[in-house]
Amino acid sequence: MRKSYYAAHVYMIVGVVSGLFYREFTKAEDFDGKTQLALMHTHLLALGMIVFLVVLVLDKVFQLSGTKLFTAFFWFYNTGIALSTAMMGVHGILTVLGRDEDHIPEAVPLTAGLGHILLTVGLILLFVLLGKRVNEHVKQTETNSERTEATSV
How deeply is 48 buried, as exposed, middle or buried, from its count of CB atoms within 10 A (0-12, 13-18, 19+)? buried
User: Helices (H), strands (E): how many in the chain?
Assistant: 5, 0
End-to-end CA distance of the chain: 41
Residue 143 has pLDDT above 90, yes or no: no
Name the pLDDT band for 150 (thresholds 50, 70, 90): confident
pLDDT (0 to 100) of residue 146: 77
Average pLDDT taken over every residue of the chain: 95
Q: Are 47 and 119 in contact (CB under 8 A)?
A: yes
Q: Is the pLDDT of residue 153 over 70?
A: no
Q: In percent, how much of the chain has pLDDT > 70?
A: 99
Asked whether the beta carbons of 7 and 74 are under 8 A apart, the reply is yes
